Amino acid sequence: MTTATHEETLGFQTEVKQLLHLMIHSLYSNREIFLRELISNAADACDKLRYQALDNDALYEGDSELRIEIDHDPEAGTVTVRDNGIGMNREEVIENLGTIARSGTAEFLKQLSGEQQKDARLIGQFGVGFYSGFIVADEIIVRTRKAGSDKAEGVEWHSRGEGEFTVADIEREKHGTEIVLHLKADAREFADDFRLKSLVRKYSDHIEVPVRMPKVEKARDADGNEIEGSETTTWETVNEATALWVRPKSEISDDEYKAFYKHVAHDFSDPLTWSHNKVEGKLEYTSLLYVPSRAPFDLYERDGARGVKLYVQRVFIMDDAEQFLPLYLRFIKGVLDTRDLSLNVSRELLQQDPKVEKIKSALTKRVLDMLKKLAKDKEAYQTFWNTFGSVLKEGPAEDYANRENIAGLLRFSTTHTDTGIQDQSLADYVSRMKEGQEKIYYIVADSFNAAKSSPHLEIFRKKGIEVLLLHDRIDEWLMSHLTEFEGMAFVDVAKGELDLGEIEGEEEKKAQEETAKAKEALVKRVKAALGAEVQDVKVTHRLTDSPACVVLPEHEMGFQMRRIMEAAGQKLPEVKPILELNPEHPLVARLEAAEGEGFDDLARILLDQAVIAEGGHLDDPAAYVKRLNALLSG
Half-sphere exposure of 352 toward its Cβ, with a 13 Å CA cutoff?
6
Q: How far is CA 585 from its chain centroid?
A: 48
Q: How far is CA 349 from CA 316, 356, 358, 506, in A?
A: 17, 10, 15, 64
The reply, when asked if residue 230 is annotated as ligand binding, is no
C-alpha span between 173 and 385 (Å, rounded): 52
Q: Which residues of 575-587 are buried (b: 16+ CB within 10 A; e: fewer)?
A: eebbbbbbbebeb
The reply, when asked if residue 255 is annotated as ligand binding, is no
The reply, when asked if residue 125 is annotated as ligand binding, is yes
The reply, when asked if residue 127 is annotated as ligand binding, is yes
Q: How many residues does the chain have?
A: 634
The reply, when asked if residue 104 is annotated as ligand binding, is yes
| DSSP 3-state of 301 | coil
The reply, when asked if residue 347 is annotated as ligand binding, is yes
| DSSP 3-state of 581 | strand
C-alpha span between 439 and 554 (Å, rounded): 15
The reply, when asked if residue 41 is annotated as ligand binding, is yes
C-alpha span between 570 and 477 (Å, rounded): 15
C-alpha span between 295 and 281 (Å, rounded): 35
Q: Tell me which amino acid residue 578 is.
A: I
Q: Are the CB atoms for 361 and 399 separated by under 8 Å?
A: no
The reply, when asked if residue 83 is annotated as ligand binding, is yes
C-alpha span between 240 and 237 (Å, rounded): 8
The reply, when asked if residue 496 is annotated as ligand binding, is no
The reply, when asked if residue 37 is annotated as ligand binding, is yes
The reply, when asked if residue 126 is annotated as ligand binding, is yes
The reply, when asked if residue 88 is annotated as ligand binding, is yes
CA-closest candidate to residue 546, choices 521, 511, 517, 583 = 583
Collect all residues with Cβ–Cβ distance below 8 Å to 572 and sequence separation of at least 6.
557, 562, 565, 566
**Residue list for the binding site:** 37, 41, 83, 88, 96, 103-104, 125-130, 177, 347
Feature table: binding site for ATP: 37, 41, 83, 88, 96, 103-104, 125-130, 177, 347
